Amino acid sequence: MIVRLLRQAKQVGEVRLLVHWVPKRSPWLNPIEPYWGHVKRRVCEPSGELSVAELRRRIRAQFVALTLDDLLQPLDPM
């Protein structure tokens, strides 16, 4: 379904990104993946019910709060 939607968006000129799929849980191919997992655990509600605006606010707050020390800490692989 996602591939179909991306294809449709590309045909009408709405997409300027090329999507390159990588295997799930492969931080060696996608170095930011462990940090997204870290942010996700701090941002998401167990119920999964957040507005888009609230989700954006929380994600921005987490990335703004990151320090250099946070980024240099080794994270457990996902």
Percentage of the chain modeled with pLDDT above 90: 3
Structural domain tally of the chain?
A: 1
Mean pLDDT over 24-36 rounds to 73
User: Does 64 fall in a domain?
Assistant: yes
User: Does 3 fall in a domain?
Assistant: no
CA distances from 65 to 5, 19, 30, 37 (A): 34, 28, 22, 15
Range of the domain at 75: 22-78
Decide if pLDDT at 49 tops 80.
yes
The band of 64, judged by pLDDT with boundaries at 50, 70 and 90, is confident
Is the CB of residue 39 less than 8 Å from the CB of residue 62? yes
Beta strands in 7-73 (DSSP E): none
pLDDT at 78: 47
How many CA atoms are closer than 13 Å to the CA of 10, on its beta-carbon side?
Answer: 9
Mean pLDDT over 5-25 rounds to 72
Q: pLDDT averaged over the chain?
A: 76
Q: pTM of the entire structure?
A: 0.47
